[in-house]
Amino acid sequence: MIPIAELLAKRCPILNVRTGANYELVPANRTEADPATIVLICNEPPIYDLLFAERYAGKPYVPADAERFLAWAERGWRDGTHFVYLLRSESGAVAGALDIKSANLPSTEIGYWLGVHHSGVMANAVSALLEVARNAGYAELFGLVRQTNTRSANVLKRAGFTSGGTLTKNSVLYDRWGIRLSA
């Protein structure tokens, strides 16, 4: 049997529907410039406020955080436990990240973040991730979206996900969006 990481290790061209710019979705592969770019993106208010403000008690996302993220991403591929993809712009710079959070083929969560200067590419990136996951044998993917995060909900909606209820996690209300990849 082929290891799940090998089945998921695909590169996908992605088009930005707003600008026509080309991007590529690639399994996390660090370059020298990545930590600094990730720090800039993760300190952008839309991303920082949703993902890091509470966890870091208002302190900025720093280079050591980006290094830990990249090491975690690489470890997931190596161990076959989780699968982080980097979304790279035409210049090769990190524009965002997407991940399949486990190797649980029946149902697993995805997540993503995108720099503010790259609007218009994430729905296509999620759609490409769906195809890679389908071909690797995943039956269902889902995303948990804070009810205040309408932009993220719209990404999932455009990628074919449907709303499927709410849940509370760490005192925050989330909508669950899911999509069946196989019968």
Positive or negative, the CA dihedral 126, 132, 135, 140 is negative
Per-residue confidence (pLDDT) for residue 83, from 0 to 100: 99
170 — pLDDT class (breaks 50, 70, 90): confident
Per-residue pLDDT, averaged over 4-22, amounts to 97
Per-residue confidence (pLDDT) for residue 47, from 0 to 100: 96
Residues whose CB is less than 8 angstroms from the CB of residue 9 and which lie 6 or more positions away in sequence, other chains included: 27, 77
* Four-CA torsion 125, 128, 134, 139, nearest 10 degrees: 20
Nearest-angstrom CA–CA distance, 148 and 69: 25
Task: DSSP letter for 116, please.
Answer: G
CATH of the domain spanning 4-141? 3.40.630.30
